Amino acid sequence: MSKQLAIGMFVLVALAAPARLWAHAGHSHTIMGTVVSRDAKALEVKTPSGEVLSIAMTPETAILRGKQKAAVTDVTRGIRVVVDIGDGEDPLIAHEIRLGVTAAVKK
């Protein structure tokens, strides 16, 4: 391998590595699905692929329906949700739960 090619490959890897490491910096992961169950500290969400995920809730977890705040009691079995789980690391912790619009609210 020529010296120029080796240097060129080194520079390419050196420039590409930081971009790969920063690709998800500040990126918030979400889970979409239907609530299977909920208790005071966690909810289970069935994703479109059929996987059931357990997601912890904290007192800081925001619950919203549209732009309005909602109560934890509004998170009921069968409602569709989008859950922001931050960086997506285990254990999964809900930072924000967005509730789907129910049939009674649609016009």
pLDDT in tens, 27-44: 789 999 999 999 999 999
pTM attached to this predicted model: 0.70
Identity of the residue numbered 71: A
User: What average pLDDT values come out for the chain (107 residues) when binned by 10 residues?
Assistant: 67 53 63 95 96 96 94 95 91 95 52
Q: Which two three-digit tokens encode residue 68?
A: 């309005």
CA distances from 14 to 6, 25, 43 (A): 12, 18, 43
DSSP output for 15-41:
HHHHHHHTTTTTPPPEEEEEEEEE-SS
In a 3-state reduction of DSSP, which class is residue 14?
A: helix
What domains sit in the chain, N to C, each tagged with a CATH number?
30-99 (2.40.50.320)
